[in-house]
A and B are shown apart, each in its own frame.
Chain A
Amino acid sequence: MADITISERQAGDVTILDLDGKVTIGEGSVALRTAIRRLLGDGKNKILMNLGGVGYIDSSGIGELVSSFTAVNKEGGTLKLLNLTQKIQDLLAITKLLTVFDVFDSEADALASFE
Chain B
Amino acid sequence: MSETKELTLPSRIESVDQAALEADEFAKSVGLDDEFISAIDLAVRESVANAVKHGNKFDETKQVEIKFSRSAEGFEVQVRDFGAGFDPADIPDPTNPANLLKASGRGILFMRSFMDEVEWSNHDGGGLIVKMLKKQ
Confirm or deny: A87 has a beta carbon within 8 angstroms of a beta carbon on chain B: yes
Mark out the residues of chain B between 73 and 111 whose CB falls within 8 Å of any chain A CB in the assembled complex.
94-95, 100-107, 109-110
Interchain CB contact under 8 A, A58 and B95: no
Chain A residues within an 8 Å CB radius of B101: 66, 69-70, 100
Size class of the A contact interface (CB-based, 8 Å): 20 to 34
Interchain CB contact under 8 A, B103 and A58: no
* Interchain Cβ contacts within 8 Å, total number: 58
Interchain CB contact under 8 A, B49 and A95: no
Q: Decide yes or no: A24 and B45 within 8 Å by CB, A70-B101, A96-B100, A100-B100 being known contacts.
A: yes
How long is the Cα–Cα vector from A87 to B104 in the complex, in angstroms?
19
Interchain CB contact under 8 A, A91 and B110: yes
Interchain CB contact under 8 A, B103 and A64: yes
B112 CB to closest chain A CB (Å) equals 10
Q: Which of B16, B38, B106 sits near A63, CB closer than 8 Å?
A: B106
**Residue ID in chain B nearest A87 by CB atoms:** B38
Binding site for B on A (CB under 8 A): 24-26, 58-60, 62-64, 66-67, 69-70, 87, 91, 94-97, 99-100
Can you list the 7 inter-chain pairs with the closest CB atoms, starting with the nearest?
A59-B106, A26-B13, A59-B107, A63-B103, A96-B95, A67-B103, A63-B104
For the A-B complex with A63-B105, A95-B100 known, give 13 more contacts whose Cβ atoms are closer than 8 Å. Answer: A25-B16, A58-B45, A58-B49, A58-B107, A59-B46, A60-B104, A64-B103, A66-B100, A66-B103, A69-B101, A94-B95, A94-B113, A95-B95
9 A-B pairs whose Cβ atoms sit less than 8 Å apart in the complex: A24-B16, A24-B45, A58-B42, A58-B45, A58-B46, A59-B106, A94-B95, A99-B100, A100-B100
